Each structure stands twice: as structure tokens, then as C-alpha cells.
Amino acid sequence: MSVKGTTRGIGVLLLLATLTACSAAAVRATEWNPATFAKVETLKLRTNCVPEGEYWFPVWLVVIDDQVYVRLGSKAVSRIACNSTAPFVGVEIAGERFDHVRGVPAPETAEQVNKAMADKYTSDLFIRWFSHPLTLRLMPE
């Protein structure tokens, strides 16, 4: 093999290494990070119900023990119930989009989530009196 061929081969290897490093950095940039999300005020959930199709709606969130929780009212519960991708929803948070997040009902944490919501959101003084029949833990897959 000539010096020219060896140099070209090394250049290709360096290019591949750079692309691999950039891809890994991009994956890390979109990792699920509850510690970062704790500072965020809202996230958007995506459901896909027939015949309306894809629908995004904002909800408050709290992070407890490194887990992300949302508390849903009756309207949002109906969106979750008709969701054709259940138990998965889409989530947009902190400028990132996660298309495959499992929404796990967590009724055992409802009281703790309610308290965390009251501590985080001043407006919860009024919102807590509305019905919130579903508490979900959001878990990326």
C-alpha cells in the first residue's frame, strides 16, 4: 500500500471516529434527565386518538426520587384513554422530544405528587381543588 493510500485510510478512520463521537454526543444530549427536568415548569404530552390524530397538551410536572410525575385532569385522562399508542406517549421537555415514554399509573404516589405540586407551583392553591383522577410516572423506553 502506498503512503497516499495509507493517508487516505487514516483520514477515513478519523472521519468515522469523529462522526461516531458526534452521534454519541447527540444521544447524550437527548437523554432522559429528571434532575434537569425538575427545574422545568411544564412539559407537553402527545397522544394519538382516532379520528383526531396526534395531539399535544401541556401539563405541570414534578420530580420525586429521580422520577418524573404528572397529574392529569379529566380531559387529559380521556386523551390517555383513547391513545392508540398506549401505554406510550410522546413528551417534549426542556427543548427535547422523546417519542416513546411509558405512562405508568401511580395512584400510590398521588398524595406525594399533590404535595410536590403545591410546593412547586403557587397557582396550585387553586388548581388542587379540581379533579385530578390520574397520576402518571413517565418512564422512557
State whether 49 and 114 are in the same domain.
yes
C-alpha distances in angstroms, 30 versus 14, 53, 66, 136?
Answer: 25, 25, 17, 21
Show the beta-strand stretches assigned E in the chain.
42-49, 53-64, 67-72, 88-93, 96-105, 134-140
Predicted pLDDT of residue 18? 43
pLDDT at 127: 73
Shared domain check, 86 and 47: yes
Cα angle value 76/80/85 (rounded, 5°): 145
Mean pLDDT, to the nearest integer, of 130-138? 87
Angle (CA) 90 96 101, round 5°? 30
Which one has a higher pLDDT value, 78 or 128?
Answer: 78
pLDDT reading at 34 higher than 50: yes
Task: Tell me the residue range of the domain where 86 lies.
Answer: 34-140
In the predicted model, is pLDDT for residue 1 greater than 70? no
pLDDT score for 100: 96
pLDDT of res. 20: 40
In the structure grid, which three cell numbers stand for residue 47, read together?
A: 397522544
User: Which one is predicted more confidently, 3 or 62?
Assistant: 62
- Lowest model confidence (mean pLDDT) among 11-15, 31-35, 78-82: 11-15
Number of compact structural domains in the chain: 2
Tell me, yes or no, whether 56 and 10 share the same domain: no
Taken in order 116, 118, 124, 128, the sign of the CA dihedral is positive
What CATH number is given to the structural domain containing 117?
2.30.110.10
State residue 31's pLDDT score: 92
The pLDDT, as a whole number, for residue 22 is 40
Structure confidence by residue, pLDDT tens digits, 56-102: 999 999 999 999 999 999 999 999 999 999 999 999 999 999 999 99
CA distance 12 to 18: 10
pLDDT at 4: 60
Return the pLDDT at 17: 43
